[in-house]
Chain A
């Protein structure tokens, strides 16, 4: 394996550790993913185009991206707020709140899905309050946004939090002593410093939301053309034994997630440069 030639070291075990890593990675991850891509590659371009431009696929695409974008926007605002409050202020129960931020990572998505649906259903704790003023959440695109906000929150908080902790207070003090108001300091000094981290968190939350399945299927109601997201469409195609359709949508989503992964990496590098540059 020519790319894995290492520099000299006295430590043993490189060959076996690297060999096992590459073998296991190839068998579990790379080969199955490549097999799916190959399967799509053996189909005729005309067929692929017809599958992608199908009205139902386009509707699911719009919904998946639109709802993910909206949820990531909500998370940028409230994620920054939660991170700010956790880093800068002290209040009773702060450590519990800090630990609770990770709940969406730890709680299985199906549990989150049925809990949010029951909460926002017309007779649920919150649905009951919203129904009289004409707001329907469960079984509408709004419900999908709520579920995607839930799963995306920790991504924004956990990327912004360390950057806020490392911020040099002296710059803020300098801005204040030069006559800037607190709001001006926030907008002109603080926000530009956390912006890369905020955008990285946004991209991560967005990427996760586009692929999310478990928390959405319960609350969305799954009506074709209306509340059907892309991952659900793959599921439907598989249940109808439409393997070609499932493969094409799968590869489409894979390409999208790799592009997003690339953007996240760029943003994180930018964020890292910013953090070390002053």
Chain B
């Protein structure tokens, strides 16, 4: 690093230390606290909290919700990015804005809209009740709310990437006689694989960690409609702090893995593109 314009060493190090202090105070301490509190009563208490039947059923439900929401939004993301990035049509910008809507809606509202539709007081509620179908305060509601809050992640990641790559390679494959499916699998997918992985990682992290939206639609039935974040809330409100932080540590660990994978994927795109100024952050800042 050789700049002709730079601050004196004192100013430089003061700024670095101030920035690091802020990061430690606001990010590192809360993260460290989760693991310290989780292990406060020793490893046995930690494992006991995780092996609790309610904790196990919460983990199962969270995995189920993510296992439905992530593939659903992956398929949508691929369809949306194919249509938006590879074709020109009127209304494209409107469509782009609408895809972003779930990012700008409060999580509580993301849950509320489904309660208003499918709840007993809701528009479809009486019909669903007659036919003995329960959506809200049951697993389908949790899945729906999870799909809503993670809706834009994959699409948001793929659209700019595919727009940047253009259509020449696909057009060449089609003109040489390859089928549409084959072109997509052999030409498009290899080009977008890192962006795809990145979108899926972010989508999964949010799906497993969502709290507000899921809290509205869950009904909080212990052992039945509790996801991991909701189970953390229950334990915490019961003053069972060691168990609450033990369960929370799974989610914190997941967050750390997500950050590591994200850095790895970014490093890989950087290596492939060799364009250091195009690090992807739009999926996060959207």
A: residues with CB less than 8 A from B are 3-7, 9-14, 16-18, 20-22, 24-25, 28-30, 32-33, 35-36, 39, 78, 81-82, 84-86, 88-91, 95, 97, 99-112, 114-116, 118-119, 125-126, 146, 149-150, 153-155, 158-159, 161-162, 165-166, 169, 172-173, 176, 182, 185, 201, 204, 207, 210-214, 218, 230-232, 234-235, 238, 241, 243, 246-247, 250, 253-254, 257-258, 260-261, 265
Contact = CB atoms under 8 A, between A and B. Distances in A.
Given A5-B90, A36-B109, A115-B34, 7 more contacts: A11-B86, A21-B95, A89-B15, A110-B233, A112-B30, A213-B215, A261-B104
A82 B99 contact: no
B87 A11 contact: yes
Given A9-B86, A231-B108, A81 B19 contact: yes
Interface of B: 1, 3-7, 11-12, 15-16, 18-20, 22-23, 25-31, 33-34, 37, 75-76, 79-80, 82-84, 86-91, 94-95, 97-102, 104-109, 112-117, 119, 121, 123, 144, 147-148, 151, 167, 170-171, 174-175, 180, 183-184, 202, 205, 208-212, 215-216, 229-230, 232-233, 236, 241, 244-245, 248, 251-252, 255-256, 258-260, 262-263, 277, 279, 281, 284-285
A73 to B, nearest CB: 14
A4 B202 CA distance: 30
A219 B148 CA distance: 26
A118 B209 contact: no
Max chain A Cβ within 10 angstroms of own Cβ: one of B37, B89, B180, B210:
B89
Contacts of A235: 108, 215-216
Given A9-B87, A214-B107, A162 B112 contact: no
Given A35-B117, A102-B284, A114-B244, A29 B27 contact: no
B22 A78 contact: yes
A3 B89 CA distance: 8
B104 A91 contact: no
Contacts, number: 304
A4 B76 contact: no
Contacts of A29: 98, 101-102, 148, 151
Contacts of A116: 30
B90 A30 contact: no
A114 B117 contact: no
B5 A172 contact: yes
Given A100-B23, A261-B104, A158 B281 contact: yes
Nearest to A91: B16
B5 A173 contact: yes
A151 to B, nearest CB: 10
Contacts of B101: 29-30, 33
B33 A13 contact: no
B90 A4 contact: yes
A106 B94 CA distance: 28
Contact of B12 (A6, A89, A212): A89
Contacts of A5: 89-90
Max chain B Cβ within 10 angstroms of own Cβ: one of A17, A111, A201:
A111
B20 A257 contact: no
B211 A176 contact: no
A114 B236 contact: yes
Max chain A Cβ within 10 angstroms of own Cβ: one of B90, B106, B115, B284:
B106
A104 to B, nearest CB: 7
A243 B116 contact: yes
Given A82-B23, A247-B116, A231 B107 contact: yes
A21 B79 contact: yes
A99 B88 CA distance: 36
Contacts of A106: 205, 209, 255-256, 258-259, 262
Contact of A238 (B29, B112, B175): B112
Given A7-B89, A182-B7, A238-B216, A102 B262 contact: yes
A46 B112 CA distance: 23
B88 A111 contact: no
17 contacts: A3-B89, A10-B171, A78-B22, A81-B15, A85-B15, A102-B284, A105-B284, A106-B256, A110-B248, A115-B31, A118-B245, A201-B285, A210-B106, A213-B106, A230-B106, A247-B112, A253-B109
